[in-house]
Amino acid sequence: MSSLSKRWLAVGVIWGVVLATTGGNIYFISRIQGRHQALDSIRMDQSYLKVNAAAIGQVLDRRSRLTHRVKSFGLGFLVVENDLKRLSWKFGLRRMRLTAKNEYPDTRPVPIDVFAAGPLPAMVKWLTAVEQACPYLAITRMDIDYDDRQRVGRLKATFTYRYSLSPLERTG
Amino acid sequence: MSRRKPTLISIAGEETVIFRMRAEDGRFQTLCSHPLEAFLEGGELPKVVSQSVNRLLVVPDYWVGSRFDAFQARKKSVIAAFIERKLKSEQPTLTEAADFYNYAIFDGQDHRRQLYTFYLQEAVAYRLYRRLAALGISPLRMTTPALLWQAKLADVADGFSRQGVGLIHLGEGDCFLYFYFKGQFLFSRTIQLPDTGGDASQVYDLLNFEINQSFYLYSQKTKSTVDALFMLASDPAAAPRLTELLGREVTELPGPPLPSGIPEDGMIPPECRIFSVADVMRTDLLAISYKPLKKEMYWRPVQWAGIAVGLLLVAFLAVESAYLYSLSASADRQMVALKSAGAEPPERVLQNVSLALDEISQALQQPSGGGTVMRALMAMPDAVTMDKLSLDVSGTPHLTFSAVVHADNPDTFKKILRAFLERLNDRFDLKTGALLEQDVRISLDRGEGHEKTPVYRIDFGLELSS
């Protein structure tokens, strides 16, 4: 290889390094820009969370009330059954019966059927009280048959029971 | 530290080749000389010579041929192609001549552009170049005494490039005649002076004859005459004497004639002894360079500039790269610190909040079971008794209602029904618009116990807005 060619090769290599370094620097610049944007975004998010901490806490608290945190479905259902029956006694409903369709473990939410009988005003009060006391029970279907002669209504309601298991205690 | 290679010049005569190196005081000193033929056959050189840069090779005038052509083109590639084609066709034995030529363009007679081409025409010149190349001291340029004089005369002779000029260089035992046409070397002659034992008249007679012969040759070659004649001689009376003999003005060249950078050295060809260091080192000297070497010399400054600028840029960009890397690392550290400061990344918290709002909104949109029943019951007039009520919120909330209306006659029933529907429409936000009488299925129950008083049974469904 002639010295002319060798020098051209050297020029090519050096300028190749120049181009590669330029490319690398462009990459660094875009990376730094990206990092700074991400940092700004995180700072803004943190600032927003700090300013709105109380409101966010309320939202999260309200959401947590929509799900019943239990150690197991059985224990949760026991609480639900107890609460619903306690309310039924309070408002004068009779013969309350609850059945859960928990066919598959760990399937959430679980439908719960409720059967009861009693005066219509008692049913309305009971339904309202359940919605207040147990926000994790959402009604999906309700049938009320009313016997005008005996002035007694028969309620069949299906609730959706939203629950979550506490860690390490996922047993039925 | 890299050290500049020492400068070497080489002078080839008919029988010898001499190598001279520039000393620290700027003068040239002879390092070695070799018989030409022996050197061409493989003579060795001192190490210092082979480690030098051979800047110039001076060869006898007759080793270089020349030609004049009328040529209008100015483009270098066209000129080069023309010369190479001419050399190939007219000098077929000089197969390498296309790599050993140079040219100059000047205004010839009637101001027509002339191309002056000169090239190596002696085989020994090519052999010498190859030998020097093999020793690693290829001459960067090759010239002749006549071309050295051409550069020198351009400085000292007025109108040199516009007229025919002759130069008489009278030495001790030789006289050299050089003739130039409009600034370009035409031909030279060497005259051996006879030993006359102190009688100079014979020498001047001989010179008179030879110069007149040369004038004739000049006029044959150029169809013009020599306009000015210059002389260089150690004897100040030489020029006036030749003026008298020739019958025309012979001008003595101005300046000291022999401030020679080349000392009186018997090995140096006599025609070369007159030239100073400045003469041989000048850059505007007409010379021949080996074409690939010339190309290399042409591109060398470009390449070194490219290398230097490239290295500077690499250094600058490397510093910039290091700075950017430190900035990037700093940003990474800040990112890690921010992320580790909070228990949960802010974006995840916000995502949770968003999901929570969705769930809350969904829960709020679901109609209340107790509220729905209560509103339906409160909408019922006293004459209406509920029979059955169903609420399905698995999809779009849908309420179906069956009731019994106690009315004495159809008109009363209509009034009761209208009142019931008005109350319902007031209490419920219905998705499909207000509930009308035609949306209600009505049947008459004449069962047991209702034979005399008819019982109107109504059924309807409502699409509730979520």
- In angstroms, what separates the C-alpha of A83 from chain B's closest C-alpha? 17
Cβ of B338 within 8 Å of Cβ of A43? The answer is yes
Q: What is the distance, to the nearest Å, from the Cα of residue B419 to the centroid of all Cα atoms in its chain? A: 95
Cβ of B324 within 8 Å of Cβ of A62? The answer is no
CA-closest candidate to residue B291, choices B54, B68, B83, B74: B83
- In angstroms, what separates the C-alpha of B465 from chain A's closest C-alpha? 15
Least trusted range by pLDDT, from A10-14, B115-119, B203-207? B203-207
CA-closest candidate to residue B332, choices A43, A48, A34: A34
Residue of A nearest to B384 (CA): A148
Residue of B nearest to A56 (CA): B353
pLDDT tens for each residue of A116-167:
999 989 999 999 999 889 999 988 999 999 988 888 999 999 999 988 887 6
Cβ of A11 within 8 Å of Cβ of B303? The answer is yes
- In angstroms, what separates the C-alpha of B466 from chain A's closest C-alpha? 13
Describe the crossing of helices B201-222 and B238-246 by its angle, rounded to 10 degrees: 60
Cβ of B360 within 8 Å of Cβ of A11? The answer is no
Tell me if chain A has a CB within 8 Å of the CB of B319.
no
Distance CA B191, CA B211 (A): 10
Cβ-nearest to A35 among B328, B346, B390: B328
pLDDT at B65 over 70: yes
Cβ of B324 within 8 Å of Cβ of A127? The answer is no
- What's residue A167's pLDDT? 67
- In angstroms, what separates the C-alpha of A71 from chain B's closest C-alpha? 22
**Interface subset of B 424-463, CB within 8 angstroms of A:** none
Distance CA B132, CA B59 (A): 13
Disruptive mutation site among A56, A134, A144 for chain B (greatest number of B CBs within 10 Å): A144
Cβ-nearest to A21 among B321, B342, B352: B321
Cβ-nearest to B328 among A32, A140, A141: A32
Residue pairs between chains A and B whose CB atoms are closer than 8 Å: 167
Per-domain boundaries in chain A: 3-51, 68-165
DSSP-assigned states of every residue in B78-115: HHHHHHHHHHHHH-TT-TTGGGSEEEEEEE-GGG-EEE
Cβ-nearest to B328 among A22, A31, A142: A31
* Secondary structure (3-state) at B291: helix
Cβ-nearest to A144 among B303, B310, B388: B388
Fold of B1-142: Nucleotidyltransferase; domain 5 (3.30.420)
Q: What is the mean pLDDT of chain A?
A: 88
- What's residue A172's pLDDT? 43
Cβ of B386 within 8 Å of Cβ of A146? The answer is yes
| CATH class for the domain made up of A68-165 | alpha beta
Note whether B188 and B150 are within 8 A (CB). Answer: no
- What's residue A119's pLDDT? 92
CATH number of this structure's domain B365-463: 3.30.980
Task: Indicate the residue type of B286.
Answer: L
For the CA atoms of A112, A118, A121, A126, the dihedral, rounded to the nearest 10 degrees, stands at -30
Higher-pLDDT residue of A149, B197: A149
Per-domain boundaries in chain B: 1-142, 303-361, 365-463
Chain B residues within 8 A of A135 when measuring between CB atoms: 363
Average confidence (pLDDT) over B251-275: 66
- What's residue A170's pLDDT? 46
Residue of B nearest to A67 (CA): B359
Chain A residues within 8 A of B371 when measuring between CB atoms: 128
Average confidence (pLDDT) over B30-59: 87
Higher-pLDDT residue of B27, A30: A30
- In angstroms, what separates the C-alpha of B450 from chain A's closest C-alpha? 14
Chain A residues within 8 A of B342 when measuring between CB atoms: 46
Cβ of A4 within 8 Å of Cβ of B296? The answer is yes
What's the full length of chain B, in residues? 466
Chain B residues within 8 A of A125 when measuring between CB atoms: 370
The residue whose two tokens read 């000169």 is B118
The residue whose two tokens read 């209504």 is A153
- In angstroms, what separates the C-alpha of B339 from chain A's closest C-alpha? 8
pLDDT tens for each residue of B424-443:
888 888 777 888 888 899 98
Confidence band for B51, pLDDT divided at 50, 70 and 90:
confident
Tell me if chain A has a CB within 8 Å of the CB of B342.
yes
Instruction: Specify which residues B181 forms β-bridges with.
Output: B164, B184
Average confidence (pLDDT) over B301-324: 95
Cβ of B363 within 8 Å of Cβ of A127? The answer is no
Distance CA B456, CA B424 (A): 18
Residue of B nearest to A46 (CA): B346
3-state SS, B233-259, equals ECCCCHHHHHHHHHCCCEEECCCCCCC
Residue of B nearest to A30 (CA): B328
Confidence band for B274, pLDDT divided at 50, 70 and 90:
confident
Cβ-nearest to A25 among B320, B353, B366: B320
pLDDT at B147 over 80: yes
pLDDT at B260 over 80: no
Chain A residues within 8 A of B357 when measuring between CB atoms: 59
Chain B residues within 8 A of A29 when measuring between CB atoms: 324
pLDDT at B271 over 60: yes
Tell me if chain A has a CB within 8 Å of the CB of B70.
no
Distance CA B316, CA B310 (A): 10
Higher-pLDDT residue of A114, B255: A114
CA-closest candidate to residue B293, choices B151, B142, B92: B142
Q: What is the pTM of this model?
A: 0.59
Cβ of B369 within 8 Å of Cβ of A139? The answer is yes
pLDDT tens for each residue of B356-393:
899 888 888 888 888 888 888 888 998 899 999 999 98
Alpha carbon of A149 to those of A124, B18, B404: distances in Å? 19, 145, 12
**Going along B273-406, which residue ranges are E strands?**
384-392, 398-406
